[in-house]
Amino acid sequence: MQASRLLSILLKLQTQGRLSAAALAEAFEVSVRTIYRDIDALSAAGVPIYADKGRHGGFALRDGYHTRLTGLDRPEAQSLFLSGVPFAADQLGLGGALDSTRLKLLAALPEAARQEAEKVASRFHLDPVAWYQGPDEQGLLPELAAAVWLQRGVEMRYDSWKGLVERDVAPLGLVLKGGLWYFVAATEERARTYRVASIVALTVQDSPAPPPPAGFELKRYWEAFARDFEARMQAASAVVRARPAGLRELARQSHAIARAVAAAQPPDAEGWQRLRIPIESVEAAVGQLLRLGPDVEALEPPELRTALRQAVLNLNGLYGE
């Protein structure tokens, strides 16, 4: 374990430059004291690491030093063909480059490691698009990727829920979520999220974009955004009762509803179980519950029961004799 961590510390310093003991301790989930011992061990092994004291100090490698470690252990070789999603690379316009990179990496591996990597490629396939869905049209994605990479400002026309809007933004990153691409960009020093398929037109500017907001990290931003989005989409709730078949169908609708199903009250004498489920709105819940038929009955709020009753009357007027 220590040998692996020493190697990782060395590679992290080589790729990221000066890092504090606290930052290294957080990255490797060990104590600061352990990091100091690891640095001493690397120095004793001849690795030219020096320390700068002070508020902005830390550990760094001497200028010009680069490790030439190229060996991959078995799990690393196995993960070689899972490190990039071909679907994403193709949409970004990098499919050919990914294939070329894989061939070069395979050629550089020892025979045993190459066999492990090729085994993974033949037995695992990643398909990020949900059932019954097709990938969004992503004709502008390569241009956006170039703007993100080169840090160029973007002028775009965006089809939002309010209608077409014009935006001048500074690119911060691209995220692939459930087969859909999202563009994260800053406007007025605030990060916002745009669905790439809703971008109608764009122009990449020649001038550099403003720097990202202080402390911005794409991974951390997206995790917070996703949590907030799901919370907003399930801000309301409804009380329902359901038979076993209805509970099974409810649990398949979302992770949050599955948790509610797990916490449902014990069945009554007729086999119904009562539970509170999250909903986006009364309008959305009507369609959601109608699909489940007579195995789920809405009890609260009253306006949901009224809306369901009206929907059933409308259907009866359409299909009834």
* DSSP string covering 257-288: HHHHHHTPPPP-TTS-EEEEEEES-HHHHHHH
Mean pLDDT of 208-224: 89
pLDDT greater at residue 54 or residue 315: 315
Of the candidate ranges 22-36, 96-110, 146-160, 193-207, the one whose mean pLDDT is the lowest: 96-110
Residue 129 is assigned to a structural domain of this protein: no
Helix, strand or coil, per DSSP, at residue 199? strand
Residue 2 has pLDDT above 80, yes or no: no
Mean pLDDT of 220-241: 90
For residue 100, name the pLDDT band (cuts at 50, 70, 90): low
Residue 165 has pLDDT above 80, yes or no: yes
The whole-angstrom separation of Cα 92 and Cα 145 is 7
pTM as predicted: 0.65
Residue 66 is assigned to a structural domain of this protein: no
CB 57 within 8 A of CB 51: yes
Residue ranges of E strands in 178-235: 180-187, 190-195, 199-208
Residue 76 is assigned to a structural domain of this protein: no
Angle subtended at Cα 260 by Cα 258 and Cα 261, rounded to the nearest 5 degrees: 65
Q: Domain of 8: which CATH number?
A: 1.10.10.10
pLDDT greater at residue 277 or residue 8: 277
Over pLDDT 70: what percentage of the chain?
83
Mean pLDDT of 156-185: 90
The reply to whether 252 and 268 lie within a common domain is yes
pLDDT tens digits, 262-277: 999 999 999 999 999 9
The reply to whether 145 and 226 lie within a common domain is yes
Last residue of a domain, one of 231, 265, 285: 231
Residue 78: burial class (beta carbons within 10 Å; 0-12, 13-18, 19+): middle
The reply to whether 13 and 53 lie within a common domain is yes
Q: Phi and psi at residue 69, in whole multiples of 5°?
A: -65, 125
Mean pLDDT of 125-135: 72
The reply to whether 247 and 308 lie within a common domain is yes
The reply to whether 220 and 250 lie within a common domain is no
The whole-angstrom separation of Cα 217 and Cα 200 is 27
**Domain interval for residue 183:** 141-231
Q: By C-alpha distance, which of 270, 292, 238, 254 is closest to 262?
A: 254
Residue 62, number of CB atoms within 10 A of its CB: 9
Residue 199 is assigned to a structural domain of this protein: yes
The reply to whether 214 and 169 lie within a common domain is yes
For residue 18, name the pLDDT band (cuts at 50, 70, 90): confident
The reply to whether 275 and 308 lie within a common domain is yes
Q: Report the chain's mean pLDDT, rounded to a whole number.
A: 84
The reply to whether 195 and 146 lie within a common domain is yes
Residue 224 is assigned to a structural domain of this protein: yes
Quickly tell me which residue has 């449902």 as its tokens.
Answer: 264
Residue 92 is assigned to a structural domain of this protein: yes
Residue 130 is assigned to a structural domain of this protein: no
> According to the model, what pLDDT value does residue 50 have?
83
**Which of 4-8, 112-116, 160-164 is the most confident on average?**
160-164
Q: How many domains does the chain have?
A: 4
Residue 291 has pLDDT above 70, yes or no: yes
Residue 45 is assigned to a structural domain of this protein: yes
